[in-house]
């Protein structure tokens, strides 16, 4: 390979579309813009969602649903994640350091998903009824 032999791969480069350059080019006269109307004019266009004055779709449809901004402060941890975590006493700071919950999280709840076969003591962390039963059956506690 020589420097003077380097060229782009086949189909990587193509000629720019030259509009308004005569009838023979296929893009002469109206330059692919059709006849008259707002879209044929220079600088003439409309905002996204505009339907010519008709009530736009995003305003015709009803507003629905709600997402609380407080959800970013809540997190869930599964029993199987606790099983992999090699700690007897678990609190919020340890879960953050292990990367199981985000740094913004304030409230953590253990959910019943997976199995737990070792003793785990939870400090300042809540659990669902099913998860609490499994943790206490394994010899752990929730404080």
Please state the rounded mean pLDDT for residues 13-31. 94
- Residue 133 shares a structural domain with residue 87: yes
Residues of the domain holding 106? 71-142
Number of domains present in the structure of the chain? 2
Per the domain annotation, does 4 fall within a domain?
no
Identify the H or E element spanning 132: helix 129-137
* Residue 1 pLDDT > 90: no
Per the domain annotation, does 58 fall within a domain?
no
pLDDT tens-digit series, residues 76-133? 999 999 999 988 999 999 999 999 999 999 999 999 999 999 999 999 999 999 999 9
- Residue 81 shares a structural domain with residue 137: yes
- Residue 138 shares a structural domain with residue 85: yes
pLDDT of residue 86: 86
pLDDT tens-digit series, residues 45-61? 889 999 989 999 999 99
| Sheet with strand 107-111: strands edge to edge | 74-78, 107-111, 126-127
For the full predicted model, state whether its pTM sits above 0.85.
no
Per the domain annotation, does 54 fall within a domain?
no
Q: Residue 74, SS3?
A: strand
* Residue 63 pLDDT > 90: yes
Per the domain annotation, does 79 fall within a domain?
yes
């Amino acid at each position: 390979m020589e420097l003077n032999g380097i060229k782009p791969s086949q189909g990587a480069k193509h000629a720019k579309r030259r509009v308004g350059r005569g009838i023979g080019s296929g893009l002469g006269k109206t330059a692919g813009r059709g006849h008259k109307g707002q879209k044929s004019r220079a600088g003439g266009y409309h905002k996204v969602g505009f339907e010519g004055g008709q009530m736009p779709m995003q305003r015709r449809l009803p507003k629905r649903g709600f997402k609380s901004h407080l959800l970013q402060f809540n997190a869930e941890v599964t029993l199987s994640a606790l099983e992999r975590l090699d700690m007897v006493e678990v609190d919020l700071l340890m879960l953050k350091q292990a990367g199981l919950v985000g740094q913004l999280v304030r409230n953590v709840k253990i959910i019943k998903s997976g199995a737990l076969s070792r003793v785990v003591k939870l400090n300042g962390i809540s659990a669902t009824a099913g998860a609490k039963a499994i943790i206490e059956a394994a010899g752990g506690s929730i404080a």
